[in-house]
């Protein structure tokens, strides 16, 4: 703190400005101090005082997407350019789709093109370090989470322009008839706890620099999507960005980013569209390869009908009120909770747990959904500012320990932006308590951690939701209400008659809550003939569908199915690893990555220019490309995320401000008396 008596004799107005400035500086000062204490925490970027070093070597990102039917092929080009006078190594942490199968990387340096090779992760790191030390230009792509990647480019000489191209494919599935393509643009800052705590996970990628709230990056960002469909397209729109739409035919369209006065690479790009006049039908895609054949089966759910059974339910809401939720995200949470609680029926019961560094609960046991109890719960939210760390694991344990009512069907609802580094531990905790209830996860914000949101729902056999803004809170709350009473399709079973299939994923299909197709991947051998048979139980009664399989359906052009099968297999093994603990399936995941040329947690892409270009590699500067804070996330996210104490100093800041203003008022009164 500071000594008020030592403030020079200046005007009351200037003293007030000085005091406010000091108080408002507390989060930034705390962030700098905490960043020094915790080398693996996010921090604010500091401008370099060395004009020879280009601290922002990433100059542009260009995204080109081609959607054919239900499969998207994505090409991302990152352009690095050194405008300083010293050689550089650039490190850039960036997000990816949770469904992406990253299968290729190419590096272009002048007129030379380097095709990256897939390697075991440690071998790739060793090869990269050797190339870096030898003065060779090299690029290394690693996966830290299924949706967080890191690019390292070594020995970028002054004046160099290095283009790194990534290729991936992913499957697009409709929900309630709407197809969505999502391209994440920024990794949100991750709360990493204090050293030694269960929330602290070793991983230098977490120590990413961020620009202050509202400050835009200087790199250019462009994105274009080509849509091609066998039937006419309809309702093409983006809830996240302004777009320009060119539709050459009813079934072909091109979408690009429109002229937006603001920044476009600080939030997920989302493109929604429908297929006009068409209902989704079950079908099978077959790929015939030189060594292996793959299939993709998409099973349409039965029509949603209103449940005739009024099943009493219990809801446990676990709500994140940490520093990263300050402002817009928390306002959105309040609106969402008002919608969710307001839709409870008199036969329902509920509880609310608010968490940050610590947690508080509405009551020890769930309460009847009376107007008075709902008003009390909403009052808890109205007194919440959004502060502190994101201690998710203790909050989940506390919620899971709430005594249950055997007469009620229980559901857990987690509401958070997901800015944590304990995804694996959270999934394990939920999976080990599957007997407690289904779990539904709501991601709040413009750049949520979709791995956590989707993973929690998958582990808890529920559904994920993403709420971009306050207006979307109404829509998602209504969607939750419609699906919660009963699954659309319960106990689904899939059989293939005539077609010889193997390596089928998933082994067991979960109940389906949303109006979204079930997906089955696998391999096949022999002749492409037979049928796909699906049975289950819908709200209207037994459900059965049969899809014929004919030889002409097998195509050599569906090569993306191999990547998608391998990606799904890796995800299944990762889930199994989480459930069993340790790294029991690491070798199987590694083998899949190497065989199918896929980026995984155990494989990386490495590209090396064999020409020695930097005669003094030891003198090269290493820089971390700073990221923008996601849209709607305040500076408090960094202060809270790197704090070494469980709770931040937001309340202390207000107290200091109040005491300081009181002191100023007394000084002013004394001067008036004089």
pLDDT tens-digit map of 394-449: 999 999 999 988 888 899 999 999 999 999 999 999 988 877 788 999 999 999 99
Q: How far is 401 from 397, CA to CA, in rounded Å? A: 6
Is residue 387 very low, low, confident or very high in pLDDT (cuts 50, 70, 90)?
A: confident
Per residue in 181-200, pLDDT (tens digit) is: 999 999 999 998 888 888 88
Query: Could you give the count of Cα atoms lying within 13 Å of 16 in the half-sphere of its Cβ?
Result: 11
Q: How far is 340 from 363, CA to CA, in rounded Å? A: 18
- Exposure class string for 545-573: b at 16+ Cβ within 10 A, else e: eebebeeebbeeebebbbbbbbbbbbbbb
Domains, the chain, ordered by start: 4-38+649-673 (no CATH), 51-276+597-624 (2.60.40), 283-304+488-588 (2.60.40), 313-484 (3.40.50.410)
263: alpha, beta or left? (left if phi > 0; alpha if psi -120 to 50): beta
Q: How high is the pLDDT of residue 48? A: 67
Bridge partners of 162, per DSSP, are 80, 109
Task: Quickly list DSSP for 337-384.
Answer: HHHHHHT--TT-EEEEEEESSSEEES-SS-EE--HHHHHHHHHHHHT-
How many CB atoms lie under 10 A from the CB of residue 118?
22
Is the pLDDT at 30 greater than 50, yes or no? no
The answer to whether 601 and 122 have CB atoms below 8 angstroms apart is no
Is the pLDDT at 229 greater than 60, yes or no? yes
> What value does the mean pLDDT of the chain take?
86
Q: How far is 561 from 557, CA to CA, in rounded Å? A: 10
Residues with Cβ within 8 Å of 350's Cβ and at least 6 positions away in sequence, in order, are 314, 315, 316, 317, 341, 344, 362, 366, 367, 369, 373, 374, 377
Alpha-carbon torsion (35, 39, 40, 45), positive or negative: positive
Is the pLDDT at 24 greater than 60, yes or no? no
Per residue in 320-367, pLDDT (tens digit) is: 999 999 988 999 999 999 999 988 988 899 999 999 989 999 999 999
Stretch 453-479: mean pLDDT: 92
> Within the chain, what is the greatest distance between any pair of CA atoms?
102
Q: How high is the pLDDT of residue 381? A: 83
The answer to whether 57 and 156 have CB atoms below 8 angstroms apart is yes
- The pTM of the full predicted model, rounded to 2 decimals, is 0.87
What is the C-alpha end-to-end distance of the chain, expressed in Å? 29
Residues with Cβ within 8 Å of 403's Cβ and at least 6 positions away in sequence, in order, are 364, 365
Least confident of 243-252, 430-439, 608-617, 626-635: 430-439
């Amino acid at each position: 703190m500071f000594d008020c008596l030592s403030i020079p004799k200046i005007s009351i107005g200037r003293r007030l400005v000085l005091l406010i400035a000091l108080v408002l500086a507390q989060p930034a000062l705390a962030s700098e101090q905490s960043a020094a204490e915790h080398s693996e925490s996010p921090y604010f970027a500091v401008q370099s005082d060395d004009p020879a070093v280009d601290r922002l070597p990433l100059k542009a990102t260009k995204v080109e997407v081609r959607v054919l039917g239900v499969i998207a092929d994505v090409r991302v080009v990152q352009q690095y350019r050194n405008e300083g006078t010293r050689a550089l190594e650039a490190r850039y942490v960036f997000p990816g789709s949770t469904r992406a199968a990253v299968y290729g990387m190419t590096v272009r340096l002048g007129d030379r093109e380097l095709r990256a090779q897939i390697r075991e992760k440690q071998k790739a790191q060793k090869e990269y370090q050797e190339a870096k030390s030898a003065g060779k230009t090299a690029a290394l792509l690693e996966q830290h989470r299924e949706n967080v990647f890191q690019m390292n480019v070594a020995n970028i000489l002054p004046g160099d322009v290095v283009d790194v191209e990534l290729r991936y494919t992913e499957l697009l599935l409709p929900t309630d008839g709407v197809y969505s393509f999502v391209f994440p643009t920024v990794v949100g800052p991750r709360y990493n706890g204090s050293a030694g705590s269960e929330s602290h996970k070793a991983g230098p990628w977490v120590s990413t620099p961020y620009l202050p709230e509202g400050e835009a990056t200087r790199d250019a960002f462009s994105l274009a999507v080509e849509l091609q469909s066998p039937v006419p397209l309809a309702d093409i729109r983006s809830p996240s960005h302004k777009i320009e739409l060119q539709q050459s035919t009813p079934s072909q369209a091109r979408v690009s980013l429109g002229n937006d006065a603001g920044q476009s690479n600080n939030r997920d790009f989302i493109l929604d569209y429908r297929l006009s006049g068409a209902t989704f039908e079950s079908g099978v895609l077959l790929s015939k390869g030189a060594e292996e054949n793959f299939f993709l089966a998409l099973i349409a759910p039965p029509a949603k009908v209103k449940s005739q059974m009024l099943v009493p339910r219990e809801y446990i809401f676990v709500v994140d009120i940490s520093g990263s939720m300050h402002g817009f995200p928390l306002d959105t949470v309040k609106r969402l909770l008002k919608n969710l609680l307001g839709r409870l029926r008199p036969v329902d019961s509920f509880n609310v747990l608010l968490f940050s560094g610590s947690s508080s609960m509405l009551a020890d046991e769930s309460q009847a959904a009376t107007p008075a109890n709902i008003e009390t719960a909403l009052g808890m939210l109205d007194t919440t500012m959004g502060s502190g760390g994101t201690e998710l694991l203790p909050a989940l344990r506390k919620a899971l320990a709430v005594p249950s009512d055997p007469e009620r069907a229980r559901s857990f609802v987690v509401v958070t932006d997901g800015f944590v580094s304990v995804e694996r531990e959270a999934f394990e905790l939920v999976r080990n308590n599957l007997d407690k209830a289904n779990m539904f996860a709501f991601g709040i914000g413009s750049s949520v951690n979709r791995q956590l949101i989707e993973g929690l729902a998958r582990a808890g056999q529920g559904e994920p939701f993403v709420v971009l803004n306050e207006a979307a809170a109404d829509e998602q709350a209504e969607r939750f209400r419609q699906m919660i009473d009963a699954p659309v399709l319960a106990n689904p079973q899939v059989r293939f008659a005539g077609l010889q299939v193997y390596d089928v994923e998933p082994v067991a299909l979960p109940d389906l809550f949303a109006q979204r197709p079930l997906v089955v991947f696998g391999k096949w051998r022999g002749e492409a003939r037979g049928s796909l048979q699906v049975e289950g139980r819908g709200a209207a009664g037994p459900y059965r569908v049969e899809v014929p399989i004919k030889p002409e359906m097998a195509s050599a052009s569906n090569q993306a199915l191999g990547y998608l099968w391998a990606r799904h297999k890796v995800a299944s093994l990762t889930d199994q690893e989480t459930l069993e603990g340790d790294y029991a399936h690491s070798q199987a995941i590694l083998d899949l990555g190497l065989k199918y040329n896929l980026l995984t947690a155990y494989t990386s892409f490495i590209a090396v220019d064999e020409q020695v270009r930097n005669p003094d590699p030891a003198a090269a500067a290493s820089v971390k490309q700073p990221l923008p804070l996601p849209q709607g996330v305040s500076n408090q996210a960094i202060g809270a995320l790197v704090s070494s104490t469980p709770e931040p100093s937001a309340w202390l800041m207000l107290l200091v401000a109040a005491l300081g203003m009181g002191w100023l008022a007394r000084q002013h009164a004394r001067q008036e008396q004089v």
